[in-house]
Amino acid sequence: MKYTIIYDNTFAGFLSAIFEIYRLHLPVAGILSKNETPLDLFSELYSVETREEWARRVERAIVNQAGKNILDLLYCAFLSEEQGVENKLFTYIQMLFSNDNAQFAKNPTSLEMLPLLKLAQSVQREKHLFYGILRFQEIGENFYFAEIEPKYDILQLLANHFQRRFKKQQWVIFDSSRQYGLYYNLETVEVIFIENFKPPEKQDQFTSFWQTYYKSATIEERLNKRQFRRMLPERYWKHLPERQKAYSL
């Protein structure tokens, strides 16, 4: 009998699942987050509870085997939320812990690593894009708010950058498609949940400054819509004031 392992959708949950698999020697058919519907009729479901200490232990084991960079890479690949990424990660971790090949962790071109590497690169690329295209609005005295809808779950990866850059202003970054956000209170960044979220109406004068600037910075003689859409895909226009008109059309 094989088991489909169900975990709670977080990275710590996923690592706890790995821990349970090794602790109980479970034969694995697949790993699924609890939001997905299991399709495999021939395996039994097994729910794993999330325990921080288990997650830490698996993390430590990965770092010992392969180093911090690989752990970061696995985390980024996990954030892609791609269907079936858990199984790819599990295959990789299995190879890592199997000790069949001592050099395995150092080979970036192995068939287990390459898909994860590509996924992690996509996630990193989107994170970097959001360093740029995230837009704050001043909604109170020294209080700034930004709404984003990224393709991957990159919100956590943004915290450090914006904390370092805007350390003297309070800000909230809210991921409205995943319904959670980050709040920086001038000291630490904490995760917040807003129920019945409504975007703030107010627009300040810098929005119109920016729209004017954006319009006059375009060189008409060199228009290249294809390149433009490749650099700034349409799915990101919704929260960019300079693309508002194009978006509402």
Partner 1 sequence: MLESTLKKISILSAAAKYDVSCSSSGSKRSTPSSGVGNGALSGICHSFTEDGRCISLLKILFSNACKYDCAYCINRKSNDIERATFNIQELTDLVMGLYKRNYIEGLFLSSAVFNNPDYTMEYLVRVAKDLREKYRFGGYIHLKAIPGASALLIHQAGLYADRCSVNIEVPSSKSLAYLAPDKNFKAIFQPMNYLAERKLEYSAGKPSKYTPHFLPAGQTTQMIIGASGESDLDILKLSSSLYQKQKLKRVYFSGYIPLNNDKRLPAITVAPPLVRENRLYQADWLMRFYQFSYDEILDDSNPHLDLQIDPKMGWALRHPEVFPLDINTADYEMILRIPGIGVRSAKLIVSGRRHSRITLAHLRKLGVALNRAKYFIYDPDLPRSLQLVYPEQIKMNLIAAPKKNQNQISFLPSLVS
183 binds partner 1, rule: CB under 8 A: no
Q: CB-wise, 33 or 110, nearer to partner 1? A: 110
Which of 34, 52, 149, 213 forms a contact with partner 1 (CB under 8 A)? 213
Q: Which two tokens stand for residue 242?
A: 């300079």
Which of 166, 180, 238, 239 forms a contact with partner 1 (CB under 8 A)? 166
Strand boundaries in the chain, DSSP class E: 2-7, 28-33, 43-47, 137-140, 143-148, 170-175, 180-184, 189-192
Cβ–Cβ under 8 Å, residues 161 and 171: no
- Cβ of 90: how many Cβ atoms within 10 Å? 18
214 binds partner 1, rule: CB under 8 A: yes
What φ, ψ does residue 156 adopt, rounded to 5°? Answer: -60, -30
Distance CA 200, CA 137 (A): 9
As beta bridge partners, residue 137 has 145
Which of 33, 65, 94, 169 forms a contact with partner 1 (CB under 8 A)? 169
178 binds partner 1, rule: CB under 8 A: no
Interface with partner 1 by CB under 8 A: which range of 16-24, 175-183, 189-197, 218-226?
A: 218-226
Cβ–Cβ under 8 Å, residues 130 and 148: yes
Q: CB-wise, 47 or 101, nearer to partner 1? A: 101
Site string for partner 1, 134-153 (x = CB under 8 A): xxxxx-----x-x-------
Residues that bind partner 1 (CB under 8 A): 103-104, 106-110, 114, 118, 128-129, 131-138, 144, 146, 161-162, 164-169, 205-206, 208-210, 212-228, 230-232, 240, 242
